[in-house]
Amino acid sequence: MAEEPAADPAGEGGAKAPAGLRGWIFPDGEGQFVLQCKAGADEQPRNLATATGEQRMTGESYEELMPGRAELQLKSGEKTLATAGGSLAEGRQYTAIALREGADWKIRVLADGPAKVGSSMRSLRICNFAAGRETVLSVQGGKEVRIPGDSLQELEVAPAVTGLSVKVLATDGGAPAQSSTEVDFAQTPSAYVVVAPDYRGRMRPSIILGGASAVPAEADVQAAAESQQ
């Protein structure tokens, strides 16, 4: 979980700014899943996200929580599939992602923002859950990065308007599903490219911004040129 210590309060006895936490689930197509969090003085865990079957959950909004220790659980019915724990820092935002890694379920917690003071880079996370397909990402027209199916990877980019090109490869070797967009990393400390089928099975990546300075983004990336398989 996050390794950053919680920030000191503004003054002795002053109220702490809440932390922000959102939960995402990339299910495996079987059962019902609930991602829960218990933080601070919570007597009962809060449900951050639920998912059923192949329906993923990737909400944009954050749940406000007291800074300090937090415990996360991914459950299916009465069975606990994965746990995670750590500290939520004052005034910072996080995304908790439940996903399969090999045969096991994992909960990965990523710090979204604000950007660290003096940091010259921003975080770009690629969640590639395109029905097992490999995805190829190019940043600012540079070298292509191949993202294996059913995986989460992170890149660092400069704090500027950044062009992204995404190709989801076809399983039969045919033409890939292609799309392009841009993200202003001067305004947002982190962003996620979520690659997964939409309700019609089309591979249209979506951009979800991270951190307190994030502004609303369109749900779907509008393709400059698109070929769906």
Pairwise CA distance, residues 216 & 207, whole Å: 10
E strand segments, 114-223:
122-128, 135-139, 144-147, 151-157, 161-168, 177-184, 190-195, 206-210
pLDDT at 204: 82
pLDDT at 173: 84
Task: Give the alpha-carbon dihedral of 146, 56, 100, 142, to 10 degrees.
Answer: 10
Q: Are 138 and 145 in contact (CB under 8 A)?
A: yes
Percentage with pLDDT > 70 across the chain: 86
Q: Are 93 and 189 in contact (CB under 8 A)?
A: no
pLDDT single digits (tens) 112-159: 999 887 788 999 999 999 989 999 999 999 999 999 999 999 999 999
Query: Half-sphere exposure (CA, 13 Å, Cβ side) for 48?
Result: 32
pLDDT at 198: 80
Q: Are 191 and 164 in contact (CB under 8 A)?
A: no
pLDDT at 4: 47
Spans in the chain with pLDDT lower than 70: 1-14, 213-229
pLDDT at 197: 86
Could you tell me the CA-to-CA distances from 168 to 125, 132, 191 in Å, in that order? 16, 10, 19
Closest to 38 measured CA to CA, from 87, 72, 80, 89:
72
* Chain mean pLDDT for the chain: 86
pLDDT single digits (tens) 29-40: 788 999 999 987
Domains and CATH numbers, the chain: 1-112 (2.60.40.1120), 114-229 (2.60.40)
What is the chain's Cα-based Rg? Answer: 18
